Homo-oligomer: A and B are copies of this chain.
Amino acid sequence: MNENDGTVYLVGSGPGDPELLTVRARELLEDADVVLHDKLPGPEIIGAIPPEKREDVGKRAGGERTDQEYTNDRLVELAREGNRVVRLKGGDPFVFGRGGEEMEHLAAHGIEFEVVPGLPSPVAGPGVAGIPLTHREWVSSVSFVTGHEDPDKPESTVDWAALAATGGTIVVLMGVGKLPEYTAALREAGMAPDTPVALIERATWPDQRVAVGTLADIVSVRDEAEIEPPAVTVIGEVVATRERVLEQLAGGEP
């Protein structure tokens, strides 16, 4: 490491509500010389960063996505110039965030870095929607899975039958487009068609929306509600908690 080099902070932004940033993330955003980000941290968090400090690596000028190699190299370049660099990722950098790849690139180039975890949307979304992910008596595990795998992979590595067999709650990230495919796969694997399912669009953003159905009808629920990405899908008996609580609140005191 060169002592004139700056440091790169791989920072999770959480789900989008600025109040759900960690104290550490907020401090680092205030002190950063430059912040590399994409669209996932959401408009409120990105909007609070002075424009002259921001670099959007989610899209390039021509509308194409910036490739990971460019981002990796840019992080090294900015650090070598002595900057205090924040690489801001939606949710947590290590939960479907490609933060691991960036960390390895920095380490390989001798750049000092720190990982600052953030609240993943599959935790925060169900949280604010009133859906506990586990239950002491009847749900002992929760799995997070991506609905949108690397399109260059020769075949899917997601084993939906195994996920169904865990008996735990399943939360699918980036799972709006492939909803018909994986709900069908889960039904084929023996999951009950009346298993409750929730779609949480833009979790914790001011325009958050929640739509609830079952494994059998959630695709038409999605279409009628016009749910669009980004959203998380929650699958399991725990989803029914939300409706129970809403009914109780509507009914007043017992």
* A interface, CB within 8 angstroms of B: 1-2, 12, 14-15, 17-24, 26-27, 92-96, 98-101, 103-104, 107-110, 115-120, 123-124, 126-128, 130-146, 149-150, 153, 156-159, 161-163, 165-168, 238, 241, 244-245, 248-249, 252-254
Contacts and interface: CB of A to CB of B under 8 A. Distances in A.
The interface centre, meaning the residue of A21, A134, A249 with most chain B CB atoms within 10 A of its CB, is A134
Nearest to A17: B24
26 contacts: A12-B127, A19-B24, A20-B22, A92-B123, A92-B127, A94-B126, A94-B133, A100-B134, A103-B130, A107-B248, A110-B254, A116-B127, A117-B119, A117-B124, A118-B119, A136-B150, A138-B157, A141-B143, A141-B144, A141-B145, A141-B146, A142-B143, A142-B144, A143-B144, A159-B165, A162-B167
B165 A100 contact: no
Among A2, A21, A244, A248: residue with most chain B CB under 10 A: A248
Oligomer copy total:
2
A238 B100 CA distance: 9
